[in-house]
Amino acid sequence: MDIDKEIAQLPEPQARAVLGQLLKQYLTPAFGVLPKAEVELAMLEALQQLGLVSADPSIYELVAKLRITRTKARNLIYARELRRSSAPELDAKLKRLLRTPLLQKNGELFALEVENPLLADHLKARLQQLGHASDGSFSPSLVTLKLDAMVALVASSLSADEQETMRKALVKAGAPDTSFRGLLTGALKNLGGKLASKAGEAFVEQASDYLGPVLDAAIKPAVDKLGSLLKGG
C-alpha cells in the first residue's frame, strides 16, 4: 500500500476529519494511555474511513495490505466485530451465510466458510444451544455440520408461525404430512444428492437457489423449490 500516493488523492476535508478523530482517540483519556490493541483498532478504523481498507475486510485483504499474519488479521477482525456487532446483527449475518453453504460430496455434511471469526463463534454457540455439534478442526474458517444440525440451524431462522405456514403449504402441494423439520430434512438430503457431483461457484449458486426462499419465508418460491426436492426432482 503506497500511503503517500493514496493520501495525495484524498479530498482534504475527509483527510482532516479522519486525522482529527484519530488524534482524539489517541489523546483520550490522556496521551499514551490507550492500549496498543485499541490503537491498532483506531488505525484500522481510520484506514477504512479513508477507503484504504474495505468496510468489511477479509482476512486476506488485511494480510496483504497491512503485511500482518493471518492470526493477527483474524484477531483484529474479531476485536473490531466484538465492539460493533450486536446479537441481532450476528443473527442477520448468520442468515445471509446460510444462503451459500458448500455441500460435501457425500451429501450428509454441510461446510460453511466463515471468514468472520466472531460470526464463527456465534454459529457454534447457536448450534450448541440447538443441541448439535460442529467441526472446525480442518480450518478455523471452515465449519462443518451434519444434516440434522443444518436442518436445526435453518429452522431456527424462521419463527414457529412461518414454519407452520410453510409446512401446511408443502403438505397441500403434495408433500408428506409430517413436521416442518422432517420435510426440511428430506429436502436437504435430496439436495445433497442432487448437487453431489457439482463443485465451485455453480454449486453454491444452486444451493442458494433452494435455501434462499426458505430463509426469506417466501412461501410460494420455497414450496416450489422444496416440493421439487421432496419429489426427487
Contacts of residue 76, Cβ cutoff 8 Å, sequence gap at least 6: 40, 41, 44, 62, 68
**pLDDT computed for residue 123 by the predictor:** 92
- List the domain boundaries for the chain: 3-84, 91-230
Contacts of residue 209, Cβ cutoff 8 Å, sequence gap at least 6: 225
Q: Long-range contact list for 9-14, CB < 8 A, 24+ apart?
A: 10/50, 14/49, 14/50
CB atoms within 10 A of CB 39: 14
The cell numbers describing 24, all together, are 482524539
Residue 5 has pLDDT above 80, yes or no: no
The closest alpha carbon to 154, from 224, 233, 78, 222, belongs to: 222
CB atoms within 10 A of CB 26: 16
Residue 201 has pLDDT above 80, yes or no: no
Residue 102 has pLDDT above 90, yes or no: no
Spatial strand order in the sheet of 142-146:
102-103, 109-113, 142-146, 135-139
**pLDDT computed for residue 205 by the predictor:** 57
For residue range 138-157, what is the model confidence (pLDDT) as tens digits? 677 888 888 899 999 999 99
**pLDDT computed for residue 98 by the predictor:** 87
The closest alpha carbon to 47, from 35, 39, 55, 58, belongs to: 55
What predicted TM-score, i.e. pTM, was given to this entire model?
Answer: 0.78
pLDDT band at 231 (very low <50, low <70, confident <90, very high): confident
Q: CA-to-CA distance for 104 and 50, rounded, in angstroms?
A: 40
Q: Work out the percent of the chain whose per-residue pLDDT is above 90.
A: 32
**Identity (one letter) of the amino acid at 210?**
Y
Q: CA-to-CA distance for 123 and 114, rounded, in angstroms?
A: 9
**pLDDT computed for residue 233 by the predictor:** 55
Could you please report the per-residue DSSP string of 67-129?
---HHHHHHHHHHHHHHH--HHHHHHHHHHHTTSPEEPTTSSEEEEE---HHHHHHHHHHHHH
For residue range 31-53, what is the model confidence (pLDDT) as tens digits? 988 889 989 999 999 988 888 88
